[in-house]
Amino acid sequence: MTAEAAPSQTFAHSGKFFNVLGLALKNAGLTIITLTMYRFWARTSMRRRLWSRTWVLGDPLEYTGNAAELFRGFLISLPCFFLPAIFVFYIAPYAIEPVWAGWLTFAFYVFSVPLIAAARYWMRRYQLSRTRWRGIRLGLAGSGWGFASASWGWWVLQLLSLGWYTPAARINRARLMWENARFGDQPFQFEVPSGESAQKGMWWSFAFGWVGFVSVVVGVFFGVAAIVAFYGLDFEAGAEDAATLSALYIGMVLSYALGWLICWAPYKAAAMNRIASLITIDGARFKLRAKTLSLLFITLIGWLFIICSLGLLAPIAGFLQVRYVLNRLELVETPRFADIGQSVLAEGKAGESLGDAFDLDMGVGVI
């Protein structure tokens, strides 16, 4: 490997929408026919296509994972998540007292917070270990349970602060994840410039999202209540009133969903840009140019595919996000690639384990 001069745009994704859509439709059809069991092969084929269209300094990434590893991960998640979830949500309400069933459901949700964090870590570890660039394998060291326990503590602080600890929690999670990431034997660093806040540029956009969404919730609620009161609508008054109330309820939910995406789009873009700017490798740093309106548009299109396909075309949403980020990502300066050796981290064979249960990456994979 030889060092190359860093061009102004060092990352690119050449994936074509209709090419990926065709594969997604094929995978969705086979997933339905096989009662979801084809999804392991679907994920593998989608990732290989998307990885091979990702170009870094003129060379593509390579995905080396396979469906058998993902299936083994599913077998791990079956007793750890799926069976307990079936009991909590479908059996416990009828088998035990309602009060105890309610507490059991609450405990399951609380336990799911660190479980989701650990699942995210294991998923990232698997995906990086199956990613190669110029023959060098990426990897992720550290402990998934350690990441989970830290994430749980930050989640508690988010609850106690009514969400205002969220920017700090997001930076903390990114720091813990990226400081354990490796390219070959070269670690990534997560460095905050001297004199700067780690959350620089995130607080005002977070405040906009928090205040804006609270305003949307209150405004929509009172707006619907005023309509119901003005027209005297009642579910028991007749089919026409019931239909109108149902339409109002659906409209309220859609308004909340759209309000959430719009209000939090500036924060999402700011957080992505800030996190990328703090990641370095061998002195080279990253720069992301995510913009609020374009990111909001991509997110809305992705959600339309997810909703209209009942989740079957979720990989399209993932593809749009991945392509958006990679085509706006730059590497400032160039690491000394000639000095980077092969990774010494062990490759796990158990796939993504609980990551399959929560579908954290929409079936696509996010590097």
pLDDT of residue 1: 45
Compute the distance between CA of residue 66 and CA of residue 43 in angstroms, rounded to an integer. 9
Kindly state the percentage of the chain with pLDDT values over 90: 57
Instruction: Look at residue 311 and tell me whether its pLDDT is greater than 60.
Output: yes
pLDDT of residue 206: 98
Q: At a CB cut-off of 8 Å and minimum separation 6, what does 277 contact? A: 285, 286, 287, 288
Q: Are strands 59-63 and 131-133 parallel, antiparallel or unpaired?
A: antiparallel
Kindly state the percentage of the chain with pLDDT values over 70: 90
Q: DSSP code of 330?
A: E
- Mind listing the pLDDT tens digit for each residue in 330-358? 998 888 877 888 877 777 666 666 665 55
Torsion of CA 81, 150, 209, 271, to 10 degrees: -110
In the chain, what are the domain boundaries?
73-185+340-361
Q: What is the pTM of this model?
A: 0.89
Instruction: Look at residue 272 and tell me whether its pLDDT is greater than 60.
Output: yes
Q: DSSP code of 363?
A: T
